[in-house]
Amino acid sequence: MADEIPTTTHTIEFPYTRTLGPVFSAFLTGMRDGRILGIASRDGKILCPPTEWDPWTGDALEPTLTEVGPGGTVETWAWVETPTRKHPLHHPFAFALIKLDGADTALLHAVDAGTINAMETGMRVTPRWKDERIGHITDVEAFVPEALGA
Amino acid sequence: MTKGTEPVEGMDYFMQLEYHELLCPVVRRYAEALRAGKLIGHRCPKCGLVYAPPRGYCPIDVIETTDADEVQLADRGVVTNYTVVTPVQYYGQEETEPFAKVSIQLDDPGGALSLQDVLEVPVDQVRVGMRVEAVWAPPKERDTGEIGNRSFGSAAGAIRGWRPTGEPDLPADQIMQAAF
């Protein structure tokens, strides 16, 4: 096969930058600084990830964010046995909805638990931060079981 | 180590689609020939027009062409037209200075290649009628990985470009009738 050229590869790329607005700007600035932030809804619930509007009334929310976590509880999860190259981890992991301590809604993120047998609804997890953070949701590389530490 | 202390106000998105395409046999044969240092084409058995690279059909006569219609082409010819591109520095643009892309009518048995690079000639001296010859990449450096099923006219990766032969220009009226 080495001498053959059975296929050709095409790559189409479209890079762009999206402005964030006051809420996501504050949220991702927090990620860059190693803090996970939520926003208070009109009735005092803490939403994480934060939204710009109250999901129940549609009212605009004050862009004053409060810190949540860093630990949290897995509410539900799905195991990814064969990650694609665009997945956050390149070995088997779980996507999970994680309700961080102090928050009333759950954040979708990856859980690096090693094996599916280590996954359980209700398990405690804590973020593993990247050393170099840029202000992006992937500044948390993954959450890990609290027993393993970050 | 984090980047900056200013508020994060933008988020970079990077959409990428990569796909793989099987090469049809006629293109594979063309690419193999390029790596062997040969340009090949197909001569339509009905109208006699030479297609470079081979297409596997003649769109004028609407008939298939096969390996039996293959002809080896000259790696010398004449510039029949050109475009000077002034590069805009959009993402992915590697050129910084104006450059020319030329079409070349090949010597006998004929055929034409488009979008070729000219070497050793300043952009403002590229002209119709200029006689040129191919500058092949050394055999080990020939890479035809960019040649796809729709890259008609490309010799990229095997021929680096075309340089003047030093022969007198061909008068433009002699190539007016040369159609691609």
B contact test, residue of A1, A4, A5 with most B CBs within 10 A: A5
Q: Is B22 within 8 Å of A20 when comparing Cβ atoms?
A: no
Helices (H), A21-144: 21-32
Burial of B77-96, coded b for 16+ CB within 10 Å and e otherwise, reads bbbbebeeeeeeeeeeeeee
Q: What is the pTM of this model?
A: 0.64
Alpha-carbon torsion, ordered A87, A93, A98, A101, to 10 deg = -110
**CB < 8 Å from A in window 41-60 of B:** none
Rounded to 5°, the CA angle B41-B46-B51 comes to 20
Task: Please tell me if residue A26 touches chain B, with a CB cutoff of 8 Å.
Answer: yes
Please check the confidence at residue B1 and state whether its pLDDT lies above 60: no
Q: Are A76 and A128 in contact (CB under 8 A)?
A: no
Q: Is A14 within 8 Å of B18 when comparing Cβ atoms?
A: no
Q: Which domain holds residue B149?
A: 25-166
Please check the confidence at residue B145 and state whether its pLDDT lies above 90: no
**Tokens coding A60:** 């605009």
Backbone angles phi, psi at A145, to 5 degrees: -55, 135
Please check the confidence at residue A1 and state whether its pLDDT lies above 50: no
Burial of A56-85, coded b for 16+ CB within 10 Å and e otherwise, reads eeeeebeeebeebbbbbbbeebeebeeeee
Query: Which sign does the torsion angle of CA B16, B20, B26, B27 carry?
Result: positive
Q: Enter the DSSP assignment of A56.
A: T
ipTM, interface predicted TM-score of the complex: 0.74
Q: Are A128 and A150 in contact (CB under 8 A)?
A: yes
Please check the confidence at residue A111 and state whether its pLDDT lies above 80: yes
**pLDDT digits 0-9 by tens, A44-98:** 999 999 999 998 889 999 888 999 989 999 999 999 999 998 899 999 999 999 9
**Residue B76 burial (C-beta neighbours within 10 Å; 0-12, 13-18, 19+):** middle
**pLDDT digits 0-9 by tens, B108-123:** 999 999 889 999 999 9
Is B33 contained in some domain?
A: yes
Number of domains in chain B: 1
